[in-house]
Structure 1
């Protein structure tokens, strides 16, 4: 497995870009999984359903399964938030894992930048950003800058710059 991230401020278009990249990779025969970091409480379950009641009753994990999909919900309760290496270890093997968020982690990342967001770019202060996808040129970026709509070129770059899982895990251990 290889790992690459998408980083950028909220509203920059990371999810939009990711939903355009996944079919591009699929058309190339590259199996992709994603990890998305949420900065707030979220729920995949519906209050009142059995699985929700299991979690509310105190179950540490609830696995929901059907003929179409399964999902494992893990309640942290008083445990600290899971780190990216722990989450990567839980994924089934694929060719490429794209991480959305975790912008402060040391894995290789593509910055997604939009001028209209009104936020400063991340790449000048983050050496782990290997390229930028933007709606504006950055002649002084010191790394490749691609147009946000150039999906084939972005996919090429992401796959070329993605790091082997073992390298990402080793770097995370060194940073800890």
Structure 2
């Protein structure tokens, strides 16, 4: 389906243009859907009505069906991601039901923009498809044709998946003292007619997630988290850092609405070499900054604290102070990521752990980006 965003200053005529475009696109034989961005909190359901009571009781999603309309209500929280993630979910709702979606608002999205109003108005993110000084019936058919030709193509092919996970093999590097990874035959085709392998590894092997229990005897285990907690709106920060260099909060950009700060040091290219253990690390102040600004953390290293090796500096912190600040505040820490250099600044992060109620577990970490 084709998608465009209709943007402009308040009272510029965006909704009027959407109305006229819907009619023009329908005349052209297209089936049209619309999305309206609402900047402030609005109760779209009637308090006291049955559907509202279902939501108030804790239902994750409520659908009301009448003879003429179907309405879907889905509470959205911080763990569901920022505006881009909300728009992606809204567009996914249309499936194959429509040919075109007109999005009113979402000026910060990467969608092609039809700008309504004063040509001198603010610039908007994404390519500019057309500027419309005012809604005009005479020009709307031509604009509809432009939307059909040049709107952003959205669908299953529009999402790119980038694997951020290292292979798990017998050569997988592990933190000093952790169990090695082994994959050995338990049954073979020759002897048994089928193959089964025995997999042995620690809970923090390869690309994995730390739960608070990792450093806190009373901390939560992975069983305390919902699936949605491993679906995060991520912000990647690329930092040049030397071996065993401390990274303080002054290296971080201004905080934003992302859920996960992904620190890309480029250290993943040393995976499988002795140099990997001499990675940069976060200071306790940097870890506290993440907590203060409500970020979970992901890195392309063994972890946020220095790993003990023969190259350790006596001035380095001992123990795991960054882990303690992050996990002690209930933050998740994802470690040993790779392929971060293939990503832009913002993306949807998915990293679902094995369903084991433990202090951590391997994950298949994936970045989702939408063209």
* Normalised-by-shorter TM-score class: 0.7 to 0.9
1:104 to 94, 101, 108: 108
When normalised by structure 2's length, the TM-score is 0.39
Q: Measured at CA, do residues 165 and 78 of structure 1 come closer, stay the same or move farther in structure 2, by a change above 3 Å?
A: closer
Aligned to 1:162: 151
- Using the TM superposition, name which of 161-170 and 60-69 deviates more: 161-170
Aligned to 1:91: 94
CA contact under 8 A between 2:100 and 2:148: conserved in structure 1? Answer: yes
Q: Measured at CA, do residues 13 and 25 of structure 1 come closer, stay the same or move farther in structure 2, by a change above 3 Å?
A: same
Higher helix share: 1
Q: Measured at CA, do residues 77 and 107 of structure 1 come closer, stay the same or move farther in structure 2, by a change above 3 Å?
A: closer
| Higher RCO (CA 8 Å, separation ≥ 6 residues) | 1
Q: List runs of 5+ in structure 1 lacking aligned partners.
A: 136-146
How far apart, in 2, do the equivalents of 1:52 and 1:107 lie?
33
Write the mapping of 1:1-176 to structure 2, written as runs, cut at 5 A.
1-79=1-79, 80-81=81-82, 82-93=85-96, 94-114=98-118, 120-123=120-123, 126=125, 128-135=127-134, 148-149=136-137, 150-166=139-155, 169=159, 174=344, 176=347
Q: How far 1:104 moved relative to its partner?
A: 0.9
Q: How far 1:40 moved relative to its partner?
A: 0.7
How far apart, in 2, do the equivalents of 1:14 and 1:64 lie?
29
CA contact under 8 A between 1:60 and 1:76: conserved in structure 2? Answer: no
Output one character per residue of 1:49-101: Cα deviation in whole Å (capped at 9) or x when no partner: 11111112222211101221111100124544443222211213211111111
Q: List runs of 5+ in structure 2 lacking aligned partners.
A: 161-342, 348-371
Please identify the structure whose Cα radius of gyration is greater: 2
When normalised by structure 1's length, the TM-score is 0.78
How far apart, in 2, do the equivalents of 1:4 and 1:83 lie?
16
How far apart, in 2, do the equivalents of 1:126 and 1:74 lie?
27
